[in-house]
Amino acid sequence: RSMPSSREFHLGMFEIGRPLGKGKFGRVYLAKERKNGFVCALKVLHKSELQQGKVEKQLRREIEIQSNLRHPNILRLFGHFHDSKRVFLILEFAGQGELYKMLRKVGRFSERRAAEYIAQMAAALQYLHKKHVIHRDIKPENILVGIHGEIKISDFGWSVHAPNSRRTTMCGTLDYLPPEMLNGSNYHNEKVDLWSLGVLTYEFLVGAAPFEDSPVETQRRIVRADMKIPDFVSPEAGDLIKKLLVIKPDQRIPLEEVAKHPWILKHCAPKP
C-alpha cells in the first residue's frame, strides 16, 4: 500500500479515525486513504489560526523543505491540500507513538536504548545538515516511534535553511536552546542541533534535562554549560555529552564523530 503519487488530494479520499493528538496549531487524526487502505496521520490546521499566528509563510517553507526529505528517521510529509477554511497535512503515522511518553513512563532509558536512539538521531541530523536544513527544535516532544521501534524526528515548525538569524521569537521550553541562541548574537548554524543532541542524550539517560531550573537560572546555566552528570551515567556516555554541550559551536564534536564515538559503537555495533 502506498500513498497515491497524484498531486491532488481531498478530504473525501480519507476515512477519519481516532484523534492522535493536538499540536500547537492543529489537531491530528488517524486516517485511512479509501482506495489503497494507506494508513496515515491527517493534521488539520485552521487558516484563521495560521493567519492569527502569522505562520502561513513558515508553513509554506516547511512544506517545501519537507517534500524532498526521505529518511527512515524523519517523519514523512506525503502531501497537503486545503478547503475553504482548513489546511490538511498528510503525515506518516508512527505506530509506537510519542517518545516523550515512553521516557516519562520508564523515567530514563537504558544506555543501550539511549545509544541506539542517539545513533538514529545523528544519522537523521547528518542527512538534514547535508541538505543545509537545521531543525532547531530537537527535544523528546518532537520525536515519534515507528512500528519497528525506530525513531522519527518530526514537527519541523522551526526548521530553516542554514545559516540563519532567527526572526520570530521562540515559545516553549528553554531547556534545549544553545548558548548562541540565548546570548542575543542571533546568528546560528547547524551546530545548534549538536547542542540539542547533547541535551537529548542527557535527558534520555538521566530522565531530566541538564539545565532544568527556573527560566532565569536555566538561561544562566546554559550560557555557562553548567551541568552535573550523575554518577550512574557511564564515563563513555558522559564523555559524549561533554563533547556536545560545548559553548563554542565550532568546538562541538561533529556528527560524523558522534556516529563513531565509543559509547555508540559499544551499543550499536552491527551484530555479528
Ligand X SMILES: COc1ccc(C(=O)Nc2ccccc2)cc1NC(=O)CCSCc1cnc2[nH]ccc2c1
Catalytic residue annotation? 137
Tell me the closest approach of the beta carbon of residue 179 to ligand X, in angstroms. 26
Region 186-205 residues binding ligand X, contact defined as CB under 6 A: none
Placement of cell 487502505 in the chain = 37
Burial 74-93 (b: 16+ CB within 10 A, else e): bbbbbbbbeeeebbbbbbbb
C-beta closer to ligand X: residue 23 or 249: 23
Tell me the closest approach of the beta carbon of residue 224 to ligand X, in angstroms. 33
Q: Exactly one of 13, 31, 44, 89 binds ligand X (CB under 6 A); which one?
A: 89
Q: Exactly one of 13, 14, 66, 211 binds ligand X (CB under 6 A); which one?
A: 66
Under the criterion CB under 6 A, does residue 93 sit at the interface with ligand X?
Answer: yes
Strand partners, 199: none
Q: Exactly one of 73, 154, 196, 218 binds ligand X (CB under 6 A); which one?
A: 154
- What binding mask, one character per residue, do residues 226-265 give for ligand X by CB under 6 A, x or -? ----------------------------------------
SS3 236: helix
Residue 244 burial by Cβ neighbours in a 10 Å radius (0-12, 13-18, 19+): buried
CA 198-201-202 angle, to 5 degrees, is: 90
Three cell numbers written together for 204: 534520555
Region 16-35 residues binding ligand X, contact defined as CB under 6 A: 20-21, 23, 25, 28
User: Which parts of 109-232 are beta strand (E)?
Assistant: 133-134, 143-145, 151-153, 160-161, 164-165, 187-188
SS3 265: helix
C-beta closer to ligand X: residue 88 or 109: 88
Number of residues that bind ligand X (CB under 6 A): 26
Which candidate, 32, 143, 145, places its Cα nearest to that of 95? 145
Q: Exactly one of 4, 17, 72, 157 binds ligand X (CB under 6 A); which one?
A: 157
Under the criterion CB under 6 A, does residue 159 sit at the interface with ligand X?
Answer: no
Q: What single-letter DSSP state applies at residue 209? A: -
CA separation for the pair 30, 187 (Å, rounded): 39
C-beta closer to ligand X: residue 62 or 116: 62
C-beta closer to ligand X: residue 100 or 221: 100
Three cell numbers written together for 255: 556528527
Under the criterion CB under 6 A, does residue 155 sit at the interface with ligand X?
Answer: yes
CA separation for the pair 196, 193 (Å, rounded): 5
Tell me the closest approach of the beta carbon of residue 122 to ligand X, in angstroms. 19
Beta strand 86-91 with 133-134 is unpaired
Tell me the closest approach of the beta carbon of residue 7 to ligand X, in angstroms. 18
Under the criterion CB under 6 A, does residue 206 sit at the interface with ligand X?
Answer: no
Instruction: Point out which residues bind ligand X (CB under 6 A).
Output: 20-21, 23, 25, 28, 41, 43, 45, 55, 58-59, 62, 66, 75, 77, 89, 91, 93-94, 97-98, 144, 154-157
